[in-house]
Amino acid sequence: MTMTEVLPSDPIGRRIICDGEYATVHYVGMVPPTPGIWLGVEWDNPSRGKHDGSHEGTRYFPCSHPTGGSFIRPKKANFGVNFLTAVKKRYGLSDDWNETLVIGKKTVELVGFESVQEEQSQLDMLFDISVRECTVSHAGQKGEIHSSCPNISTLNVSKNLLSSWDYVADIVSQLEKLKTLDLSENKISLPSNPSSLATSFEKLTVLSLNRTGVTWNEVLHCAVMWPALEELHLASNNITSLERPVNCLQSLTLLDIANNHIIDGNQLHAIADLPRLKQLILSCNRISILNFTVQHGGCTNSFASLNSLSVDGNNISQWSFINELNKLRNLQSFNCQNNPFMDSDKNPETIRQLIIAKIARLKVLNKTEILPQERKGAELDYRKMFGNEWLKSGGNQNADLNKPSLEFLLEHPRYSELIEKYGAPDDAEFRQQQPFALKNQLLTLTILCPNKPDQKPIKKKLPDSMTVQKVKGLLYRLLKVPGSELRLSYESSKVRNIY
């Protein structure tokens, strides 16, 4: 095998796989004093390498990690296969079919005409395909994809060896019906002239670039290529900040930037003017704050079409973040699990009530529908919970004297609206109300032991959520009576239960 058979004509920048590890080629040439041609590569996994692209004081190629580089022989590098080869291998089609036929005394080798027709028929029937991890690196012969499998509408080429948008465009331009493309876990270099590739992607509506290492500015650089894009998935990348899209991404209805490194929620103002954006996924970032500058009680013009927001797994600890969401005109679905404010001393049911009461137009919370009766109960309870604070701040049941402080209104921006809806809390509600703290969710129990007349009554405050089994464990520690021998009864003025 000659060197030209091992190496492609343009090896620099190409992606390879070697012994199961992915890398990018940065150098081809001699590395004295050893003879022969070497490839200088930077591994995706820097622990696989040995150096930073230097050898004996000479730098042969740049490397972003001090141990990310290696020199390997060309024959060890797999530069991948063309798209159609990968498709045929994945879907059990073969180019190796042949048959012999004896006519008289002559043996004739046939290229199977019927088999070719059958293969073509099967390729024509491919609509939704995946060649994930099939070492796809280029399109192959010009036009062969279009003539072989023209009906593909959904394509997954994630975790392959695609190294440039030109190679991607060579594939996509032959798939006239393609709408959905997954390029996740490829490392694709930026195009020098992205607008020249726009015709290749003009019908693409869904694009996934998860785990590609892309930044937001690089996305904006490429976005002119995707004029009709409606869904863009950018999870698990290096996105730390956002810039405003100008003359691009204006058709987006869904943007997924989960599991990135965004800290300041006010970065979101950069994408707040996307006119059609309906769903925004921000899960697993480090966002803690968000502010919309509007008059008290008003709605913002930002995110005018947004109806679904996910912020699971962020650093949200203040209820002011939830207050800000009530300023969004169309927010109907909200996911916020695994944030610090969800792990406060309030029980989960109460936290859910508070969120519902604070966001007026919400219909689904943490994937559970909010029924009208639940909303009414949450709003009435909210009105009662903070009634004393409202009074102390200047609130009054007499509308003419009702002048709560600005501080109270900023902390409870919907409270005035709830009074208009249900009326002010009455005196009986104030008497029933207790401060909203864990100590007020405890039950005071007097524990008696009939079989031990000398045992003095024991008074304990226990959470109302404590199970009978845990109560038995507590009594075992207090009374030294095995749980198997304990028989509990609970008495109140209204009910008597035996456990």
- Decide if pLDDT at 2 tops 50: no
- Given a cut of 60, whether residue 378 has pLDDT beyond it is yes
Whether pLDDT at 95 is above 60: no
What's the DSSP call for residue 491? E
Average per-residue pLDDT in the chain? Answer: 88
**Does residue 494 carry a pLDDT above 50?**
no
pLDDT tier, 116 (very low <50, low <70, confident <90, very high otherwise): low
Predicted confidence (pLDDT) at residue 497 exceeds the cutoff of 60: no
Nearest to 300 by CA among 413, 445, 401, 458: 413
pLDDT attached to residue 263: 94
pLDDT tier at 118 (50, 70, 90 boundaries)?
Answer: low
Tell me the pTM: 0.80
Work out the burial of residue 417: count CB atoms within 10 Å of its CB; fewer than 13 is exposed, 13-18 middle, 19 or more buried: middle
The confidence score (pLDDT) of residue 112 equals 43
% of the chain residues with pLDDT over 90 = 72
Beta partners for residue 281, in sequence order: 256, 310
pLDDT band, residue 449 (cuts 50/70/90): confident
Assess whether pLDDT exceeds 50 at residue 97.
Answer: no
Instruction: Please state whether beta strands 231-233 and 206-208 pair in parallel, antiparallel, or not at all (unpaired).
Output: parallel
CA dihedral over 39, 45, 50, 54, signed as positive or negative? positive
Q: What is the pLDDT of residues 461-485, one digit of tens each?
A: 777 667 777 777 777 777 777 766 7
Domains within the chain, CATH numbers bracketed: 3-76 (2.30.30.190), 377-432 (no CATH), 440-498 (3.10.20.90)
Give yes or no for residue 22 having a pLDDT over 90.
yes
CA distance 395 to 148: 75
The separation between CA 139 and the C-alpha centre of its own chain, rounded to angstroms, equals 30
Please give the residue that has the higher pLDDT: either 440 or 489.
489
Q: Of the given ranges (10-24, 139-153, 431-445), which has the lowest mean pLDDT? A: 431-445
pLDDT in tens, 126-174: 999 999 999 999 999 999 999 999 999 999 999 999 999 999 999 999 9
Nearest to 383, CA basis, from 350, 351, 346, 412: 412
Confidence of residue 99 (pLDDT cuts 50, 70, 90): very low
At 38-79, the pLDDT tens digits run 999 999 999 999 999 999 999 999 999 999 999 999 999 999
Is residue 208 within 8 Å of 183, Cβ to Cβ?
yes
pLDDT at 293: 84
Q: Tell me what pLDDT residue 308 has.
A: 98
**Interval 324-329 mean pLDDT:** 96
Q: How confident is the model at residue 104 (pLDDT cuts 50, 70, 90)?
A: very low
Q: Is the pLDDT of residue 493 over 60?
A: no
**Predicted local confidence at residue 475, as pLDDT:** 75
Q: What pLDDT does residue 458 have?
A: 82
The percent of residues above 70 in pLDDT, for the chain, comes to 87
CA–CA distance, 95 with 119 (Å, rounded to integer): 9
Give the pLDDT mean for 78-103. 75
pLDDT of residue 110: 40
Lowest mean pLDDT among 15-29, 73-87, 111-125, 401-415: 111-125
The pair of three-digit structure tokens given for residue 439, joined into one six-digit string: 């100590």
Res 258: pLDDT? 98
Give the integer Cα–Cα distance in Å for 334 and 339. Answer: 13
What pLDDT shows up at residue 291? 92
pLDDT at residue 344 is higher than 80: no
Strands 254-256 and 496-498: unpaired
Is residue 298 over pLDDT 90?
Answer: no
pLDDT for 276: 98
pLDDT, average across residues 343-356: 87
**E runs forming strands in 76-188:** 81-82, 99-103, 106-110, 128-130, 136-138, 154-156, 180-182
Query: Which amino acid, one-letter code, is at 423?
Result: G
Q: What is the pLDDT of residue 124?
A: 84
Could you tell me which residues come within 8 angstroms of residue 448 by beta carbon, excluding any fewer than 6 positions away?
Answer: 455, 457
- Mean pLDDT, residues 386-411: 94
Predicted confidence at residue 102, as pLDDT, reads 43
